[in-house]
Every structure is written in C-alpha cells, then in structure tokens.
C-alpha cells in the first residue's frame, strides 16, 4: 500500500480580524512552567478591511494584510492571558473609507487593492500594513522598553505596550524618500527593513530607506494594459485601466521611478532621523539593491546590510494588478518578477564614518555564496572581524506564493486551490552558515556551512537570547540560535519553482530527489544551533524537535527563565503551531528540545491567526512614556493634499469618454446624479477623505 503524502494543515490558511476582549488561554496538554516570565508579542497578517480575514478569494498571498498584534502575558500565576489589536496607521482609515464609497466608479478609482505583497491605490499611494516584526528599544534615561512594529514597505511605528495602540511613526513622512518619486502620493510608498536594529550599549537605532528602479518594466506593462483596456466592457474597470495606463505613460515619459538609492538612517529616540547615502567603495557609485533589505545588523564598530532574498518592492504593483488577467499569469511572473540571487551581497559601514552633517558614507561590499533572508551578527568585532550567522534558504523563493495558476510538477495538474496564497516549498535543503569576516582585508577568514537531513528544509524564522534580563544589554557573542523550519510538502511544490531552480548553482540534493522527498514529506522542525565556534556548528539528536507530519511551526521566541543563570539556553522557546484542526501555542525547554518534548500546549477557540511572522519578548509593559510624537498634521500637510488634487486635475483619462473596441460609447460625459463631472467627484471625494478621516 502506497503511503499518502502528509497534508498541509488547513489551519495555516485562515485568520480572523476580531479585536476581542482579553482571553485566558486554555492548557490542552502539559503544564505551564512556574518560572515563565514577561510578555511575548507576536504579529501576523490578518487580511484586509474588505476581506474580513484570510484567505483571499482570489488567491493573493497571505503575507499581505493588516498586522494583528498578539500579546501573551506569562506573568500571571498558572495562566496565560492573550490580548490582540490591529495595527491602524492613518492609511488604514483611508483604506476603510475608500471601500465604502457608494458610487461604484469612484470606489473603483480610489480604493486600495492587494498587488501581491503590496496594497496600493492608484490615486492615493501605498498602505503601511505593519505586519512583520518588532524591535524593543530602551534609550538612556528611560525606565521601560519601547517597542516598534515593522514592515518592509513602510515606516516603523512605536506601539503602546499596554494597550497595543499605535503611538507614533518613526520619522516624519518628509524624512523618508518614496520608492515612487512621482506622483507625490500622500501615502508614500516607502521601502525599509522589517528588522531595524538597536544598540543597547550606545543607545542608537539603525534602519534603512531604499528604492529600486522599475522603469525597464513599464513599456511591456503599458502595452499589455492597453490591450486589456480595449477588451474591457465594464465601465468601472475600463476607467481604472485608463488611469493606470496614463499614469504609467507619464512615468515613462518623465523618466520617473528610475532612482536607485540606499540611505542608512540613525535615530536617538527623540530627535530627527540622521541619514547617509551609501557609496560603493569600489567605484564611488551609489549602492543599489537588487532585491530587498529585509534584515540588517549592528556590531560594536560596524553596521552590516544585506541584499536579502525576499523580492518585495514597487514591481509588485505592476506585476500583480488585481482583477485583470493581462496575459498568461505565468508568463507575466517570468517577465516582471525579481528573481532571487543565489548569492548574498553584504555592505559593511564603519560607524565612525557616520559623521554629523555629512550626506554620504562609504560601504564596503562582499559576496557570500548562497542566498539568505535572515542573518545575525555578534556584537563584538575583535580585530575588526565580524562574525555573521545566516540561514541560507537555498532554492526557496519566499516572496512567491502558491497561485491558482500554478501546476504540480508531478502530473502537470493545477495545484489545490484551497492552499492558494500560502508559501511554496523549497527546491533544495537549507544550509546554516557561520562566517568570520576580516573587514581590514574584506575577506571571509573562516566559514562553516552545514545542513541536516531532517531539520533544515526551509529554515526561516529564528530566536535567541537577545537581551540579558538583569541589564537589558545584548550579549556580545551569540552562542545559541534557535530556528524553525517550514518542512517539505508535496502540495506546495510547483512546476514554476521547479523550473526556476533546475539550474541552481549550489545544489546539495538532486532535484528529482527533492521531488521524491516532498512526496514522502519532510517535517517542520524546531532546532538549536550552537554558534559559539566553527567546531560547535552541528545539530545533535537532542538539539531538535520534529513536529508531527501534518503540523507546521512558525514564530519562535526565546523566553528567559525568571530564576537561574542568564545563559543562551536557560529559558523556554514558545512557537506557533498549525495543526490539522486549529492554531496552538507550544512551549519547549530551550535546553532540551527533544528530551522533554513540548512542555505545554495552549489554545483558545477564538484564537485564529494566519501565517504568523516575528516576535519579541519584554520583561515589563506599560503606557508609552517617550515624548517623541509625529503629529498627523505634520505627516499630511495641506500642501501635500493640494499636490494630489493638481495631479488628479492633470489626468485626461478622467475626462475622456469611454468606448469599447467596437467604438460604441458606454458613457460619454461621466456626469453623476448630481450633475458633476467625474474629475470633480474624484477631487471632492479625496478632499472629504482627508477632512473627515485624516485631519480629524
């Protein structure tokens, strides 16, 4: 009898958006350790204002969505309390408002839509969905830690750790450069990092602001959109396509969307952001990023940036236009998407070179074989040597998702539509790397790269002892890092990814063998990697826990014990677990992952999160204490609104009549029931949006 392949747990596909009163979690197995302490913060995309949760009916990626913040309170004796809130920056109100515009044509032109990983309105700009990560910070003189919530395509926001409400963005809107330089959208499309860093010793926060040109794509896109516009019989869709085509043609003619830049930014928690444009030391040209800067790192003397294998950016907007098939979706993906580089390019900046008043700083460039989305660095850098730890997600495109147009490589039949929107399986085994980089010689002095036949299939999310509870300081050396792996699943293996990685240069497992292993199934795992030295880099039997075949684990978080020594293993690992029936929280002994198995499993019937992402641990919570605030009026001044209204005035497509390919007009004047022309209606709707939702 042929054994059936393990099934992906369906619980990973759905999420609700309910902001309910605090809940007490139910213990379904085991016991709560008595020395658990503090608060764990977890974030997960939870769908959008018009989807009412996950999954999306059209199969868009589940990584797009408003961030739902979950806080687990482990300070209560014998119980765990759960609090949750949606992250709602000002653009959330704009999104909600534009979905409810009564007139269909106005709603079609103004509302936000999912464009792959990005949510965008053609006339208003981008959403800042704040759904990816956190950063604890404690500046000099502060009594409590502050907490940022982050997103790759927006500014970070500080949250009130007691109420979970947003407090303030970091940096005024005008301190950040838009990834689209025209039109001057009120909701700027901003590219940053989901993992800014904080130096607990020097009390400085670092982040980045960057852009990648997409001008080379536009000619082909405009041609395809114009063809689609000629075929579109529905008034609202035709008019939206007309506006999109006119906008892109103006961009092409103005040579806009053509700036490549990378700014390194520093913040003291109170004042304005400082920033420096990165200059490549080899030729003096501005540094350009091909993919993204999902994570950055800081050491005592250096800031380390990486061009990470997570292709999110403005190309998502033109590569994933909703409601229109354009041409064959698989061909469009191949034409326009950013394919991950098989190598990791890092940029090293000396912190002493970040001088006040200067606008540029030199970055030294080094390539590391094999791609990565997440990496960490030791804080200490003795002799100008940086120790870098990376999870190499080999042949795994984590910016791609299972689409309704995907086919199975086993029988060339369509993949299961029930899983559309979730991650795809890797096409090779992940590798774990430890590198000692000699900055003086700009070379890799030592390296060790390992893999494990069970544990390292899709090694993605991580946790470690990032702050000592007694002092709040970062350990100067990373001795143990905990990772969860996604596993290998036949249901999530696609022809598209198979073809993309058939010539992968660093292949460890032959592609045919990967397909066979996916058919058999490789489990999701939680494992510990001793990173203290090259010699210690191995995974023993007691260093990992293999989840049941139909479970997936995500979002690990290290929780230090309230008693005993402060060591990198003296604590617990909490992670989210998707089972065939429901979502659960499991707790492990960090010293003995496999010996003690899960110590405790938590659940609540109203707990329903989707593809959960990163976490943070705080010892205490409280009301937001910092005085730093960016007022809404500073972010969205009247002149910015005036510029938007002038841009709308310039769009001839809002005045032109609508004709089909056969030449028959469906509407000649576009006058509303009130007798106003369409352009006037659009401008009044935008004015009302800002007066009633943003400025109030």
Measured between alpha carbons, how far is 63 from 1 in angstroms, rounded to an integer? 38
Ligand-binding site membership of 115 (annotated) = no
- Comparing CA positions, the residue from 73, 199, 71, 208 lying closest to residue 137 is 199
Pairing of strands 67-73, 39-45: antiparallel
| Token code pair at residue 278 | 């990165």
pLDDT at 416: 93
Measured between alpha carbons, how far is 200 from 137 in angstroms, rounded to an integer? 8
- Note whether 266 and 204 are within 8 A (CB): yes
Measured between alpha carbons, how far is 355 from 264 in angstroms, rounded to an integer? 12
Backbone dihedral angles phi then psi of residue 313, each to the nearest 5 degrees: 175, -165
Ligand-binding site membership of 604 (annotated) = no
- Note whether 429 and 394 are within 8 A (CB): yes
- Comparing CA positions, the residue from 222, 255, 220 lying closest to residue 241 is 222
Strand order in the sheet with 118-121: 113-115, 118-121, 125-126
Measured between alpha carbons, how far is 376 from 435 in angstroms, rounded to an integer? 11
- Note whether 132 and 82 are within 8 A (CB): no
Measured between alpha carbons, how far is 37 from 74 in angstroms, rounded to an integer? 5
- Note whether 299 and 198 are within 8 A (CB): no
CA–chain centroid gap for 523, Å, is: 24
| Token code pair at residue 431 | 């590798």
240-251: buried (b, 16+ CB within 10 Å) or exposed (e) per residue?
bbbbbbbbbbeb
Pairing of strands 157-159, 166-169: antiparallel
Ligand-binding site membership of 294 (annotated) = yes
Query: Could you tell me the pTM of the whole model?
Result: 0.95
- Comparing CA positions, the residue from 656, 660, 691 lying closest to residue 677 is 656
Task: Report the DSSP beta bridge partners of residue 364.
Answer: 348
pLDDT at 151: 98
| Token code pair at residue 31 | 């016991």
What residue ranges of the chain have pLDDT lower than 70?
1-2, 215-217, 256-258, 323-338, 656-675
In this structure, the number of other CB atoms found within 10 A of the CB of residue 629 comes to 12
- Comparing CA positions, the residue from 461, 391, 352 lying closest to residue 134 is 461
Measured between alpha carbons, how far is 69 from 566 in angstroms, rounded to an integer? 28
Q: What is the DSSP string of 435-475?
A: EEEETTTTEEEEEEEE--TTT-SSEEEEE---S-TTT-PPP
pLDDT at 667: 44
Strand locations in 537-611, DSSP E? 544-546, 552-560, 571-578, 583-589, 598-603
Q: What is the domain partition of the chain in residue ranges?
A: 214-257
- CB-based contacts of 663: which residues, under 8 Å, 6+ apart? none
Measured between alpha carbons, how far is 612 from 601 in angstroms, rounded to an integer? 17
pLDDT at 259: 74
Ligand-binding site membership of 374 (annotated) = yes
pLDDT at 330: 60
- Note whether 110 and 682 are within 8 A (CB): yes
- CB-based contacts of 498: which residues, under 8 Å, 6+ apart? 409, 427, 511, 515
pLDDT at 223: 77
- Note whether 214 and 319 are within 8 A (CB): no
- Comparing CA positions, the residue from 154, 189, 191, 184 lying closest to residue 169 is 154
Q: Would you mind telling me the total number of residues written for the chain in this entry?
A: 696
- Note whether 307 and 292 are within 8 A (CB): yes
Q: 3-state SS string over 610-678?
A: CCCCCEEEECCCCCCCCCCCCCHHHHCCHHHHHHHHHHHHCCHHHCCCEECCCCCEEECCCECCCCCEH
Measured between alpha carbons, how far is 305 from 199 in angstroms, rounded to an integer? 15
Please, what is the end-to-end C-alpha distance for the chain in angstroms? 67
- Comparing CA positions, the residue from 173, 354, 348 lying closest to residue 276 is 354
pLDDT at 673: 55
């Amino acid at each position: 009898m042929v054994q059936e392949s393990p099934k992906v747990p369906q619980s990973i596909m759905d999420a609700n958006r309910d902001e309910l009163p605090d809940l007490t979690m139910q213990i379904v197995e085991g016991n709560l350790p008595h020395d658990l302490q503090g608060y764990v913060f977890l974030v997960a995309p939870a769908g959008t204002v018009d989807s009412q949760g996950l999954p999306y009916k059209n199969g868009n990626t589940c990584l797009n969505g408003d961030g739902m913040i979950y806080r687990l309170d482990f300070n209560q004796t014998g119980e765990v309390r759960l609090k949750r809130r949606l992250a709602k920056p000002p653009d959330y109100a704009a999104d909600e408002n534009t979905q409810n515009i009564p007139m269909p044509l106005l709603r079609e032109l103004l509302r936000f839509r999912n464009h792959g990983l990005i949510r965008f309105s053609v006339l208003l700009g981008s959403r800042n969905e704040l759904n990816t990560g956190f950063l604890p910070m404690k500046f000099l003189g502060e009594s409590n830690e502050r907490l940022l919530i982050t997103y790759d395509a927006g500014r970070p926001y500080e949250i009130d750790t007691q109420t979970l409400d947003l407090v303030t963005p970091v940096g005024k809107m005008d301190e950040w450069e838009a990834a689209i330089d025209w039109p001057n959208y009120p909701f700027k499309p901003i590219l940053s990092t989901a993992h800014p860093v904080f130096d607990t010793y020097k009390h400085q926060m670092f982040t980045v602001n960057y852009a990648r040109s997409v001008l080379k794509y536009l000619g082909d896109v405009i041609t395809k959109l114009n063809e689609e516009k000629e075929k579109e019989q529905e008034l609202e869709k035709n008019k939206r396509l007309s506006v999109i085509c006119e906008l892109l043609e103006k961009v092409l003619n103005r040579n806009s969307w053509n700036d490549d830049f990378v700014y390194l930014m520093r913040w003291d928690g109170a004042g304005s952001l400082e920033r420096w444009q990165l200059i490549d030391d080899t030729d003096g040209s501005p540094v350009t990023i091909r993919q993204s800067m999902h994570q950055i790192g800081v050491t005592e003397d250096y800031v380390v940036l990486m061009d990470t294998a997570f292709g999110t950016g403005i190309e998502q907007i033109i590569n994933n236009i909703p409601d229109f098939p354009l041409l064959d979706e698989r061909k469009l993906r191949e034409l326009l998407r950013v394919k991950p580089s098989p190598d990791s390019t890092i940029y090293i900046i000396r912190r002493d070179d970040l001088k006040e008043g200067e606008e540029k700083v030199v970055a030294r460039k080094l390539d590391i074989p094999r791609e990565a989305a997440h990496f960490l660095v030791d804080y200490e850098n003795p002799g100008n040597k940086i120790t870098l730890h990376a999870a190499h997600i080999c042949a795994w495109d984590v910016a791609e998702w299972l689409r309704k147009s995907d086919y199975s490589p086993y029988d060339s039949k369509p993949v299961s539509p029930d899983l559309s929107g979730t991650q795809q399986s890797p096409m090779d085994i992940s590798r774990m790397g430890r590198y000692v980089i000699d900055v003086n010689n700009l070379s890799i002095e030592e390296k060790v790269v390992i893999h494990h036949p069970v544990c390292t299939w899709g090694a993605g999310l991580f946790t470690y002892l990032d702050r000592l509870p007694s002092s709040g300081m970062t350990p100067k050396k990373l001795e143990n890092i905990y990772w969860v792996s996604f596993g290998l699943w036949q249901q999530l293996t696609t022809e598209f990814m198979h073809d993309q990685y058939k010539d992968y240069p660093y292949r460890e497992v032959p592609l045919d063998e990967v397909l066979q292993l996916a058919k058999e199934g490789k489990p999701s795992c939680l494992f510990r990697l001793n990173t203290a030295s090259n010699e210690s880099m191995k995974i023993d039997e007691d260093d990992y826990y293999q989840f049941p075949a139909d479970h997936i684990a995500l979002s690990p978080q290290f929780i230090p014990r309230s008693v005993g020594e402060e060591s990198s293993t003296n604590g617990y690992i909490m992670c989210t677990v998707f089972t065939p029936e429901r979502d659960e929280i499991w707790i492990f002994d960090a010293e003995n992952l496999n010996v003690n198995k899960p110590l405790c499993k938590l659940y609540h019937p109203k707990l329903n999160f989707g593809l959960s992402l990163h976490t943070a641990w705080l010892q205490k919570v409280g009301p937001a204490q910092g005085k730093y605030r960016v007022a809404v009026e500073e972010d969205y001044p009247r002149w910015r609104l005036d510029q938007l209204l002038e841009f709308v005035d310039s769009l001839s497509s809002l005045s032109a009549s609508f004709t089909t390919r056969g030449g028959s007009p469906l509407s000649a004047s576009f006058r509303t029931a009130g007798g106003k022309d369409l352009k006037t209606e659009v401008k009044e709707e935008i004015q009302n949006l800002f007066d009633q939702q943003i400025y109030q």
